Structure 1
Amino acid sequence: MAKEINILPESFVFVDDNPAEREIVRRELPMVTVPELSAPEQYIAAIDRAGYFEITTLSADDRKRAEMYKQNAQRATLEQSFGNYEDYLKSLKMHCEIGAFDLPHAERITQLVNKTNQFNLTTRRYTAAEIEALIGDESHITQYGRLMDKFGDNGLVTAMIGTIEGTTLDMDLWIMSCRTFKRRLEHAMFDHLVACAQQKGITKIVGHYYPTAKNLLVKDFYATIGFVKTAEDEAGNCTFEFTGFKNYQPQCGVMEIETVK
C-alpha cells in the first residue's frame, strides 16, 4: 500500500482490534505506528489522545489529497499499458506552472518545506515569516512548481531556494512531493532555474546533499542533471557544481511549461 500511494511506511498508523495482528505488524514493520488498544469502547478516545492525525494547517491541496491518490492509481494503470516510459509521460499531457515565491502560495510552500523528507537535498526548514521574507528578494532565486495532467491537478508540489553570491548561485533548498516522482518535474524546474540564472549573470550553481535516513533517494540526483561532485566529507555531505550554461539543452521535454511572472 505504501508503494501504491507513494508515501513512507513511517506515515502509516495501523489500527486493529486483534492483539496478534498488531504484534505481527510491530515485528515485521517496526517503522509503522501501531497503537495499543484496550476495551473497544475506548478505541476512538485512545486514537484521538495520541494525536496521530492532528494538523496545524489545512491547505487547499490537503483537502484534495484523497482525490489525488485516486488519480495516481489511474496513472499507474495507464503506465502499465505502455512499453516505453517516455511515451507514457507524454500521454499524460502534463502542464507545469513555475513562478517565483509569492504571497498566494506562501502558506503551501511553507507547509511543503517543513514536511518533505524524501526529495529534500538539504532538509532545511523555514518558518512562514522566512518564506515571506524571500518574496521579491533580489539576493535570492526562488521557484515553486505546480503540476497538472489529464487526470487532475497535483497542486504545488516542488520548491527551490538559491542564494546569489556574486556570479554563483548557492542552492539552499530543493524539495519535491513524493507523489510526483519520476515525471520529469525536477528537470522542468532545473531548466527554468538555468534560464533564470543566466539572466542574472550566474556562471556557477552550487548544490548540496546532506544525507538523512529518508533522503537517500536523491543522493546522486545532482550528478544526473549535469553537476560535478567537488567534495564529500566523512558524514556523506556532498557538494556539487554546475557550470554547463553555454551548451545547456533543456532536459524535461515531456510537458508544457508555463512561466508565471
Structure 2
Amino acid sequence: MANSPSGDSMTERVVRVLETFTSDRTMQTAAEIGRRAGLPSSSAHRIVDELVAAGLLERDEDRRIRLGLRLWELAQRGSTALRLRQAALPFMAQVQREIREHTQLAVLEQDEALFLERLSHPQAGANITRIAGRLPLHASSSGLVLLAFADAALRERVLGAPLRAVGPGTITDAAELRRVLARIRRQGVVVAPGSIEAVSTGVAVPLRDAGEVVAALSTILPRDADPAPAVAALRRAASGVDAALRAARR
C-alpha cells in the first residue's frame, strides 16, 4: 500500500481509523476520527468516505459515523474466534447455570486478553469486562492463564514491563507474577481474588485445541465464595470444549 508523506501506509491509516471506535465510543464525526487517529482532516475525510462506500463504516442522517455491518460480516467468515465461541458456548451456558455468576471466554490478542463472549446471571456480582473488551494479561484470571501458557518471549516481555494495578489484588511485582504463572502451569487453574474488583474473585482454566492452549474460560465469584465448585465446573467445561473442537476437525 502506498505510503503517506509521514511514512505510514494506507493500511496503517485505515487501522488507526477503525481503532478509534471503542465499546464506549460507537459514534463519531469524521473530524473526531481524524483527530483521534492522528490524521490530517482531508485524509481522514477521504478514508472515512471510502470506508463508508465499501460498507465497512456507516453514516447516519446526522453524518455521524459508526462501524458497518459489512465489517462484522467479513470478520465472521472463517474466523477461528467464531469456531471457538461456537464450541464453547454450550459449555459456558452449563457453567453459568451451575455457578449463576458471570462466565467468560477470552483469547490472547496482541499481548492482551480479548473477551469473545460473556454470559451473566441477573444476580451476578461486579464485572467490568465486556464482549470485545480487553484487559492487561496480568490483571485478570483469564489473562493470567493466557500469559502462563503463552510463549516464553511474550511472558518475558510482560514481566519486563511496568505491571499496572487495575484492582487491589492485581499482581504488580514481577517475581511474584513469575511464581504465580509457574503455579498455573502446574495446576491448570488460577484463583485471583481482587485482581479487578475488590469484591470479586476471578477463577479461570485453560481451553485447549489439539493440545495447545487457545483460550481461557473464567467465572467471576463474590470475594467470599468458595471457588471449588467453580473450579470443578470450569474443568468439566474445558474438557467438553476440547472434545467439541476435536470432533469438529474430523
After TM superposition, is the score higher than 0.5?
A: no
- Which one has more relative contact order, counting CA pairs under 8 Å at least 6 apart? 1
TM-score (norm 2): 0.29
Q: Greater strand share, 1 or 2?
A: 1
